[in-house]
Amino acid sequence: MTFRPDHELHRRRFGRNVGLGLVLVAFVAIVFGLTVVKVTNGDPMQAFDHSVRPELLERTGE
Which pLDDT tens digit goes with each residue over 3-27?
Answer: 787 888 888 899 999 999 999 999 9
pTM higher than 0.75: no
Per-domain residue ranges of the chain: 8-56
**How much is the pLDDT for 38?**
83
Proportion of the chain in helix, strand, coil states, percent, rounded to 5: 60, 0, 40
* Distance of alpha carbon 60 from alpha carbon 28, whole angstroms: 44
Cβ contact 46:53 at 8 Å: yes
Give the number of residues written for the chain: 62
